[in-house]
Structure 1
Amino acid sequence: MSEEQNRDKPVPTTDEHPLRGKVALVAGATRGAGRAMAVQLGALGATVYATGRTTRQQVSEVGRTTETIEETAELVTAAGGEGVGVRVDHLEADQVRDLVARIERDHGRLDVLVNDVWGGEHLVEFAKKMWEIDLDRGLRMLELGAKTHIITSHCALPLLLRTGGGLLIEITDGTAEANKPYRESFFYDLTKNAPIRMAFNLSHEVKDAGATALSLTPGFLRSEQMLDHFGVTEENWRDAVAKERHFALSESPVLVGRAVAALAADPDKARWNGASLYSGQVAKEYGFTDTDGTVPDSWPYFQQVMAGEDPGDPEDYRLRP
């Protein structure tokens, strides 16, 4: 099977559409990991509400016009699900409440909530002390990557918990274990650790309702923005390894998308309640790969990098089942 064919292939399951009749909300699905999560949930038959701030008529502060929430919804439908694109600013609680009310009117249920809202890459500054970073810039990062998640969970969890067996996934950068070394930017470190703790805290609060809360991170993600940063495409991404050695262990957004879909389709997902997972770990557990047929086992590698150790050849961490 070619890489292009493998890109759209859903995660392997015994049922071709195990999420048929299920309703998912992917908050922050305009591009990158969020888009891939929405598409892979759709590939397993789910109805997916995909939200974001960039539409064909309106662009968010991220400033990218090439990816829109309408396009994400169309890709979900093309994959086999039902995509519903809704422009929502997840910092505006009334907009999120209206969205949840719409889902309730349309379906009376919510089975999967993925909190992937971010859009703060343009704010990140490394190699600066906390007090050297513009305060408004740092606080905006926290708003985009943490406050949005709190607002969305607060508004959507009552519906998610109604039917039992619901799944909340907090998307972040890093795991509880991997983030023990300082992430070299006060506001970024705080923003990306917050969803991990949110999932852990909520795992205690949703358990009695039969729901599961966990956090999940991709590895070195080949998002549209990252590919543009290196001046490459998904087809020739390896050309960027000469500029950044660690990029050899990068992964496409499809890998974390398949991870979300596999977790959502698992009837025994409750075993992950409170867990902090990464995409390669979930791939090994459920037996799927990235689009190139490999599994980038990224976080064991990057844990060593962040600790100032030499992890060796990144290709040694790209597993070939």
Structure 2
Amino acid sequence: MRGGAGRGALAGKVALVAGGTRGAGRAMAVALGEAGAVVYVTGRTTRQGRSEVGRPETIEETAELVAAAGGTGIAVRTDHLEPDQVRALVERIDREQGRLDVLVNDVWGGDHLIEFGKKVWETDLEKGLRMLRLSLETHAITSHCALPLLVRRPGGLVVEITDGTEEFNRTYRENLFFDLAKSGPIRMAFGLAKELEEYGGTAVCLSPGYLRSEEMLDHFGVTEANWRDAVRKDPHFAIAESPAFIGRAVVALATDPERDRWSGRSVSSGELAEAYGFTDVDGSRPRAFAYFQDVVFGGRKAGAEEYR
């Protein structure tokens, strides 16, 4: 199964992708739309102005891609650090749809704040605290405001997005604030799973592997069409996965009637690909975290193709 669930598998369902401007968020929104869902896409970068991230991708573009894929995409500019804005967003979803079936907490936008290799007392405190607000406070506010709508019907799904699985994050991320920012959603999913259980809901923490986001492609000076050219600069980029891979992972979860087996767990797109049988756009199943643990950190002599 290359693409995961079929078109229309989520017809009648409503999803909110918080932080769907670009990268994994955009891909998950598009995949949910391709499966037939109504997808609300939020973020701070619109055609009228950019967020502090400074990237050109907009939530309107994501909503248009959702529509082109066969779903209904609705862009709503929302700063998820502002509870009033998030409440207004949820009230709009309730007013227009009367339900919420899938919440994807993908808000981040803190990569430009990271100072690797500095002790906590050497790090710019304002940058560090901003990372925590963007990664943890945004997710907490969104769950607080959106879950009363989601739990009206049994079977709701919350997907916390982070960078790194629980096992992988046992390796220190070389910046305390970044480390906390990427470990927090794992614990959030664990706690939300407990709180949603009596409502028949599921909460999972999901991480992509080495993601070929727009920013990463720009960093290497390549496109999705010729991304393998970047392997000359970074051999480990050979294990990179397209954003579509995590999009297919979210749809696999959303369409699985037995997804509660994952509740409270930390999983990767590669792990779900093995379980559900979907592939990346090139037909492979990259296992990025196994590659990094075995080859990059463990010293095993093997190429990336062995892990695809």
Q: TM-score, normalised by structure 2?
A: 0.97
Q: How does 1:1-321 map to 2 (within 5 A)?
A: 10-13=3-6, 16-65=7-56, 67-304=57-294, 307=297, 309-310=299-300, 312-318=302-308
Give the Cα–Cα distance (whole angstroms) in 2 for the partners of residues 220 and 90 of structure 1.
26
Indicate how the Cα distance of structure 1 residues 274 and 254 shifts in structure 2: closer, same or farther if over 3 A, else same: same
Q: CA deviation at 1:184?
A: 1.4
- Give the conservation status (yes or no) of the 8 Å contact 1:10–1:44: no
Q: CA deviation at 1:18?
A: 1.4
Q: CA deviation at 1:284?
A: 1.4
1:236 maps to amino acid: N
- Give the conservation status (yes or no) of the 8 Å contact 1:181–1:306: no
Give the Cα–Cα distance (whole angstroms) in 2 for the partners of residues 257 and 266 of structure 1.
14
Give the Cα–Cα distance (whole angstroms) in 1 for the partners of residues 205 and 23 of structure 2.
17
> Structure 1, residues 32-81: CA drift from partner, whole Å, max 9, x if none?
0000000000001000000010000110001112x110010011011111
Following superposition, which runs of at least 4 residues in structure 1 exceed 3 angstroms of deviation?
304-311
Q: CA deviation at 1:313?
A: 1.5
Q: CA deviation at 1:305?
A: 5.6
Give the Cα–Cα distance (whole angstroms) in 2 for the partners of residues 254 and 57 of structure 1.
27
Q: CA deviation at 1:273?
A: 0.7
Q: CA deviation at 1:311?
A: 6.0
**Worse overlay, 124-133 or 51-60:** 124-133
- Give the conservation status (yes or no) of the 8 Å contact 2:217–2:227: yes
- Give the conservation status (yes or no) of the 8 Å contact 1:203–1:214: yes
Give the Cα–Cα distance (whole angstroms) in 2 for the partners of residues 229 and 301 of structure 1.
22
- Give the conservation status (yes or no) of the 8 Å contact 2:31–2:247: yes
Give the Cα–Cα distance (whole angstroms) in 1 for the partners of residues 160 and 114 of structure 2.
20
**Worse overlay, 211-220 or 120-129:** 120-129
Find the residue that maps to 1:122 and give its secondary structure: helix
Q: CA deviation at 1:307?
A: 4.2
2:285 maps to amino acid: V
> Structure 1, residues 110-137: CA drift from partner, whole Å, max 9, x if none?
0000000011111112111111110001
> Structure 1, residues 183-225: CA drift from partner, whole Å, max 9, x if none?
1111111000000000001111110110000100000000000
Find the residue that maps to 1:130 and give its secondary structure: coil
Q: CA deviation at 1:251?
A: 0.4
Give the Cα–Cα distance (whole angstroms) in 2 for the partners of residues 249 and 170 of structure 1.
23
- Give the conservation status (yes or no) of the 8 Å contact 2:115–2:123: yes
Indicate how the Cα distance of structure 1 residues 10 and 317 shifts in structure 2: closer, same or farther if over 3 A, else same: closer
Find the residue that maps to 1:132 and give its secondary structure: coil
CA RMSD of aligned residues (A): 1.4
Q: CA deviation at 1:12?
A: 3.6
Q: CA deviation at 1:11?
A: 2.0
The residue aligned with 1:3 is none
Total equivalences in the alignment: 308
Give the Cα–Cα distance (whole angstroms) in 2 for the partners of residues 308 and 145 of structure 1.
29
Give the Cα–Cα distance (whole angstroms) in 1 for the partners of residues 4 and 64 of structure 2.
20
Give the Cα–Cα distance (whole angstroms) in 1 for the partners of residues 163 and 73 of structure 2.
26
Give the Cα–Cα distance (whole angstroms) in 1 for the partners of residues 284 and 108 of structure 2.
27
Find the residue that maps to 2:75 and give its secondary structure: strand
Give the Cα–Cα distance (whole angstroms) in 1 for the partners of residues 246 and 73 of structure 2.
19
Listed as ranges, the gaps of 5+ residues in structure 1 are: 1-5
- Give the conservation status (yes or no) of the 8 Å contact 1:181–1:307: no
